[in-house]
Homo-oligomer: A and B are copies of this chain.
Amino acid sequence: MTTLRLNPLTDLLHVLPGADEAAADAVAQRQAQLTKPPGSLGRLEEVVGWLARWQRRAMPRLDQVDVVIFAGNHGVTAQGISPFPAEVTVQMVANFRAGGAAINQIAGVAGARLSVVPLSLDQPTADFTQAPAMTEAEFLAAVSAGFDAVVPGTDLLCLGEMGIGNTTAAAAMSAALFGGAGADWAGRGTGLDAEGVARKAAVVDRALALHADHLTDPWQVARRLGGRETAAILGATIAARRHGIPVLLDGFVCSAAAAPLARLLPGGLDHTLIGHVSAEAGHRRLVRALDRPVLLDLDMRLGEGSGAALSVMILRAALACHTGMATFAEAGVADGT
């Protein structure tokens, strides 16, 4: 029964476009002529190729960069897995709208447009130690909200989240998708002590046991253990691929939210990079499992899309070098060959 209704989503995956390797090749050809030793801009050269490959343009653009934060509330907070009360989710949404959060400042420096999408904050998901977090209808509505938040024509999409309790959901999803127990994925979140982390790991283990018969299907992992905001991130990541928009993922929760796509479709996250590897314990492990490049490692663990937005500036510098540098011939510089 359950698989049937999710079939339209799975069908959609099979018509997602692949990479434009000709555009990436054009980037590599230009890079070889620019006034620098070959390869000396390292990751900056690679990311321009990645932008070209997924924007499907030989000369990529970063004119319109969007940061979208999805917010959701989690019934699993009843298990005492966060030092912050669940009301903080709605308070932080107000803070985003008033311009007072870290992501507002970072998006401003990065020249990105910030949108906030609160998802039924007055209706927390079910406590996933007791039941699936979402019904199928709730899950599909959240995935659709993610789809709808992606604006075709955007040059780059940064995804972020806010949701008290959602590192517990991310730990549960990661364990379900990539193996391991709660203790392998549970971390301090917004500031748990060691006892709190142990409690969180036990909560994850109970959830894994309860849903064990359904976790080979990545859609079910996202529906049973995730939240509305993680479902929306999954939807937005799929929509971005469909519209030719490269995606910067943020930290642990955001990466875990998108991770089902890597399990559903080989190379399903190839149009994404991870902006920043979080200090939250599980993220480094998840990054290895996803095998996607990371741009920054600055010991941050905030969420809100902060790491994704921060890394936009790396892409802007990379693109400026690609478009603005002189070639050896233009500059009259000997090219070392």
In the complex, chain B residues whose CB is within 8 Å of the CB of A323? 105
Are B37 and A105 within 8 A (Cβ)?
Answer: no
Are B302 and A191 within 8 A (Cβ)?
Answer: no
Are A331 and B100 within 8 A (Cβ)?
Answer: yes
Are A314 and B298 within 8 A (Cβ)?
Answer: yes
A87 on the interface (CB 8 Å rule)?
A: yes
Q: How large is the interface on A (under 10, 10 to 19, 20 to 34, 35 or more residues)?
A: 35 or more
In the complex, chain B residues whose CB is within 8 Å of the CB of A314? 296, 298, 310, 313
Assess A44 versus B300: contact at CB under 8 Å? Given A101-B35, A106-B320, A110-B317. yes
A151 on the interface (CB 8 Å rule)?
A: no
- Chain B minimum-CB-distance residue to A278: B42
A104 on the interface (CB 8 Å rule)?
A: yes
- Chain B minimum-CB-distance residue to A297: B297
**A-B CB contact pairs (8 Å), 23 listed:** A35-B92, A37-B302, A40-B302, A41-B300, A41-B302, A42-B301, A84-B336, A87-B334, A91-B331, A91-B333, A91-B334, A94-B331, A95-B331, A100-B330, A105-B323, A105-B324, A105-B325, A108-B324, A191-B336, A295-B298, A296-B314, A298-B314, A310-B317
Interface residues of A, Cβ cutoff 8 Å to B: 34-38, 40-44, 83-85, 87-88, 91-92, 94-95, 98-102, 104-106, 108-110, 190-191, 279, 295-302, 306, 310, 313-314, 316-317, 320-321, 323-326, 330-334, 336
